[in-house]
Amino acid sequence: MEKYQKILLKVLKLHGDLEENLDEAATIISSELDISRVSFWRGGRSNGGISCLALYNSASKIIERGMFLSSSLYPLISKF
C-alpha cells in the first residue's frame, strides 16, 4: 500500500496542462509498477464511446492519444 501512496503523491505533485500531466502520470505509473502499458480514457454514453487521452507504451517509450472506441462496437463501454 505504501508503494501506491508514493506513486499517488508523485502524480499529485504534477503541474502544467492536462495533456502533459497525463503523459507524465502514465510514465510514472508504468515505471513504478513495472507495467508495460498505461492509459487514460474519457467518454461514455453521451458521446457514443471513449477517447484515449494518453496511452504510454514502455517498450517503445511512445505516448499515443486520440484513439476512439465506439460503444456500438464495444457494448461494455456504454455501461461506464
- What is the pLDDT at residue 4? 82
Confidence of residue 45 (pLDDT cuts 50, 70, 90): low
- What is the pLDDT at residue 10? 85
Confidence of residue 57 (pLDDT cuts 50, 70, 90): very high
Give CA angle at 15 (1, 18), nearest 5°.
90
Confidence of residue 80 (pLDDT cuts 50, 70, 90): low
What does pTM read for this prediction? Answer: 0.79
The dihedral region occupied by 66, where left means phi > 0, alpha psi between -120 and 50, and beta the remainder, is: left
Neighbours of 53 (CB within 10 A): 18
